Amino acid sequence: MELLLIGAGAIGVALAAGLADEGHHMTILAREDTRRAIDSDGVHRTGLFAEKHIPAGVVTTVSDYAALPQGAFDFVLISAKTMANEEISDKLNEHRGCLKEGGKLVLFQNGWGNDAWYRRYFSEEQVCSARVITGFRRETRSHSVVTVHTQPLLLGSLYGCDPTPLEPLAQAIDRSGIPCETSDTVAEALWAKMLYNCTLNPLGAILHVPYGALCEKDETVAIMNDLIDEEFAVMHAAGYRTFWETPEEYREVFYGKLVPDTYAHCSSTLQDLEGKRKTEIATLTGCILSLAKEHGVPVPVSTVIYRMIRGLEAQF
């Protein structure tokens, strides 16, 4: 396969190393400093699963959409921060000729609603989504570490389209060592991830602790329980569903499996704040707040969490 990656962060570098190791040609569109690092050092994945070390010159890098070849790519993997979606979707539309006929975009991103930016220009069949609940950390611009894992990556459509065309990509990621499969319930899976992320991600960043530490104090467990209640109320009011009907059902899995499996992980929001970067809170808790306002659902705890992250961002 010919693959284009946009977003050479922790997830992107890990995917690129694994897929290149499987023999697929990977082109990475990245900022100039990241492009230079990859050109000189290659891409590397360590941590959980099989290590992958791809030497310099195997992966192609570009820093300009105009440099993308015409009719080249079977899949565009988008793992950039969600704040970049407007720019990326605009640029991909301007250079849509880089896709092969039937080529697809696959969003490996946090949050809910990212697809809307791409659906302005591309069809339901072309815009696909991935549920990623594996943890990654970027050691350097060319090296990603897989830190925790609890469930396979899921690839599919939010619009009921047949996921079969995504099988070659899912199988390649799976063979590279990161469990991955296609799914016809990716919308439900993404809402499951929203519950997980919106409960753990910002709270861990505010308190500067890994996920597991949040379960060790009654006070933080109480906050998470309140967040889960609010998230379920918003999800149901907005007409969405996931794999559990009630907050009580979800909490059994959350405390019994999901948090233990990712006990030592520090959230992407915490990593962003430590790096003095803007976070993805708008597509996480911000999405909960927007839907809550639209449907008249009170979310006082989520509101405080959101404001605290914005307050921390405002310090730099």
Q: What is the pLDDT of residues 61-117, one digit of tens each?
A: 999 999 999 999 999 999 999 999 999 999 999 999 999 999 999 999 999 999 999
Q: Say whether pLDDT at 40 is over 90.
A: yes
- Give pTM, 2 decimals: 0.93
Query: pLDDT band at residue 312, thresholds of 50, 70 and 90?
Result: very high
The H or E element containing residue 7 is none
- Round to the nearest angstrom and report the end-to-end CA distance of the chain: 42
**CA atoms of 230 and 227, how far apart (whole Å):** 5
Residue 201 corresponds to which amino acid? Answer: N
Residue positions counted in the chain:
316
Q: What is the pLDDT of residues 209-231, one digit of tens each?
A: 999 999 999 999 999 999 999 99
User: What is the pLDDT, as a whole number, of residue 49?
Assistant: 94
Q: Say whether pLDDT at 125 is over 90.
A: yes
Percent of the chain topping pLDDT 70: 100
* CA 23 remoteness from chain centre: 24
Asked if 71 and 100 touch (Cβ cutoff 8 Å), the reply is yes
Q: Say which of 52, 81, 104, 193 is annotated catalytic.
A: 193
The H or E element containing residue 311 is helix 300-313
What 8-state DSSP symbol labels residue 258?
Answer: I
> What is the mean predicted confidence (pLDDT) over 167-184?
98
* CA 73 remoteness from chain centre: 21
Query: pLDDT band at residue 316, thresholds of 50, 70 and 90?
Result: confident
Asked if 42 and 142 touch (Cβ cutoff 8 Å), the reply is yes
- Residue 193 appears among annotated catalytic residues: yes
**CA atoms of 264 and 271, how far apart (whole Å):** 13
Task: Give ∠ CA 9-14-16 in degrees, rounded to 5.
Answer: 95
**CA atoms of 6 and 8, how far apart (whole Å):** 6
Task: Indicate left, alpha or beta for 114 from its phi (over 0: left) and psi (-120 to 50: alpha).
Answer: alpha
Q: What is the pLDDT of residues 20-30, one digit of tens each?
A: 999 999 999 99
User: What is the pLDDT, as a whole number, of residue 215?
Assistant: 96
**CA atoms of 145 and 162, how far apart (whole Å):** 32
